[in-house]
Copies of this chain bind each other. A is one copy, B any other.
Amino acid sequence: MLQLTKRTEYGLLALVHLADREGAVASVREICERFPLPKRTVAEVLKDLQHAGLVDSIRGSSGGYTLARAPEQVTLGDVVRALEGAPPLTTCESPIVLKGGGCEVQPMCPIKSPIQRVRERLWQMLEHTTLRSLVSKGSHVSLGALGAVESN
């Protein structure tokens, strides 16, 4: 449906909070105190982000999560890839397993190639949008992010 899932939004908000904490651990409770989000679901999302290597987790009583990389090196694309799986855009080019035999139209599909081009460009856009640019949006507008995306 050409729309980000709420899981992705939750992930982004959580990452923004972690970025604000600058390396300090932040628990799910702390995140949900800042943003009114369903705690359990956010926990699930953070867990997935941990599996994807975007955050590190600290267990135990005073545990929580920290950013695994600098905010400049985490992109919207990373988050989407971690939380929504593959970057398909079409049903034919799902990267790994195409169950059900794939699309019947494929051998004669005139739109496959151009749509893949659109997908690539979209993905480039996501890859060039860093967590840093999201964080700085809170206070002032970062024009640097726009310039980076504008490359075509």
Contacts and interface: CB of A to CB of B under 8 A. Distances in A.
A76 B89 CA distance: 13
A138 interface: yes
A9 interface: yes
A113 B138 contact: yes
Number of copies: 2
Contacts of A105: 13, 35-37
A119 to B, nearest CB: 9
A88 B3 contact: yes
B4 A3 contact: no
A5 B13 contact: no
Interface string A110-152: 1101110110011001100100011101110100011011000
Given A105-B35, A111-B12, A4 B90 contact: yes
A16 B111 contact: yes
A148 B110 CA distance: 14
5 contacts: A1-B84, A110-B134, A110-B135, A111-B134, A118-B125
Interface of A: 1-6, 9, 12-13, 16, 34-37, 76, 80, 84, 87-91, 104-105, 108-111, 113-115, 117-118, 121-122, 125-126, 129, 133-135, 137-139, 141, 145-146, 148-149
